[in-house]
Amino acid sequence: PDASGTALSVPKAELHMHIEGALEPELAFECARRNGITLPYADVDDLRRRYDFSNLQSFLDLYYTGMNVLCTAQDFTDLADSYLARVRQQGVRHAEIFFDPQAHTSRGVALETVLDGLEASLATSQERFGISTRLIACFLRDRGPDEAMATFEALLPHTGRITGVGLDSAEDGYPPEGFAPVFARARQAGLHLVAHAGEEGPPEYVWQALDVLGVDRIDHGIRAAEDPTLLRRIARDQVPLTVCPLSNVRLRCVDTLGRHCLPQLVDTGVLTTINSDDPAYFGGYVGENYRAVQREFGFDDTALREFASNSIRASFLGRDERERLL
């Protein structure tokens, strides 16, 4: 069997991607032009040359600057369409898409504009691209628990439009436990819960995400590999990890792909999925992430299919919909 074909063709779900991280330089300049905004970069090539990150924060600085060009519902529609058009070639049949409400409302773009714009694309994703879609609203942890709660209140009239809430942005120094009240309220509202933990931050943050927030999945979670008790717990309870290998290399969370803990996770029986995180910035979409780990670790056809079936099992689709994709 042609394993490299499998990486792209096997039906899969993507469970960890930030829609703002799918903003390709060409669309960024197009949005800047139509909104009369001047980006602090000369052109597309100049912007791409700056995709050389030393850590998570150095990426986030560029990421939040780039998304300033997203102003109208049309911008968000075009952004989501651009993502879907790319991953339809890579076997993606379902996508659970993160967005960062505070990154937009804090600069005067209404939550309704963001949601309306994304939905105008996602409402017909199945018909146009063969991809079912859900939205997950993430709180920016570096803006603190109070602002997260205010953001949740603003989301309350729209909870029918999202499947869950998450926690992202700068991790170290912003432990999950402070967000327990807002996560409790999201749970009461019937939403699924996820959180970035153990990307740059210590294993303790993964424990907190599990035991204090009660999340359904851990985003990244790679530093759990440093704590054998934690890793056994994650494997025992089959808490899915949404791992993003190329992101981890680009943000220097790992020195090289060869030193990534992915094989250790698999060997320990962790329900591991492979995702792109911010595909426009990190050198590839989900298919390129599958290919990169296949090349690096020699995963065969069966192993790649396992990552793909894990992604469907770990999704927030209903049982019938998961069965249809498996």
Q: d(Cα 290, Cα 165) in Å, to the nearest integer?
A: 26
Contact 326, 307 (CB under 8 A): no
Residue sitting closest to ligand ADE (CB): 168
> Is 94 marked within a binding site?
no
Which of 7, 14, 21, 136 binds ligand ADE (CB under 6 A)? It is: 21
| 81 counts as binding ligand ADE under rule CB under 6 A | no
Q: Say if residue 43 is exposed, middle or buried (CB neighbours under 10 Å; 0-12, 13-18, 19+).
A: exposed
- Our CB check for ligand ADE shows the closer of 14 and 168 to be 168
| 168 counts as binding ligand ADE under rule CB under 6 A | yes
Q: d(Cα 47, Cα 149) in Å, to the nearest integer?
A: 34
- Tell me the sheet residues that pair with 242: 219, 273
Which residues lie near Zn ion (CB under 5 A)?
Answer: 277
> Is 168 marked within a binding site?
no
DSSP labels for 198-263? SSSS-HHHHHHIIIII--SEEEE-GGGGG-HHHHHHHHHTT--EEE-HHHHHHTTSSSSGGG-SHH
Q: d(Cα 173, Cα 176) in Å, to the nearest integer?
A: 10
| 56 counts as binding ligand ADE under rule CB under 6 A | yes
| 278 counts as binding ligand ADE under rule CB under 6 A | yes
What's the CA angle centered on 285, arms 268 and 203, to 5 degrees? 35
Which of 96, 119, 199, 288 binds ligand ADE (CB under 6 A)? It is: 199
Contact 137, 103 (CB under 8 A): no
> Is 277 marked within a binding site?
yes
> Is 16 marked within a binding site?
yes
Q: Tell me the number of residues near ligand ADE by CB under 6 A.
A: 11
| 250 counts as binding ligand ADE under rule CB under 6 A | no
Catalytic residue list contains 14: no
Which of 90, 125, 132, 247 binds ligand ADE (CB under 6 A)? It is: 247
- Which two structure tokens, joined as six digits, stand for 159? 């909870």
| 14 counts as binding ligand ADE under rule CB under 6 A | no
Query: In the complex, what is the shortest distance from the CB of residue 122 to ligand ADE, in angstroms, rounded to a whole number?
Result: 19
Q: Say if residue 148 is exposed, middle or buried (CB neighbours under 10 Å; 0-12, 13-18, 19+).
A: buried
Q: Say if residue 161 is exposed, middle or buried (CB neighbours under 10 Å; 0-12, 13-18, 19+).
A: middle
Catalytic residue among 24, 199, 200, 288: 199
| 119 counts as binding ligand ADE under rule CB under 6 A | no
| 277 counts as binding ligand ADE under rule CB under 6 A | yes
Interface residues with ligand ADE (CB under 6 A)?
Answer: 18, 21, 56, 63, 168-169, 196, 199, 247, 277-278
Residues labelled catalytic: 199
- Can you say which residues are annotated as belonging to the binding site for Zn(2+)? 16, 18, 196, 277
- Can you say which residues are annotated as belonging to the binding site for substrate? 278
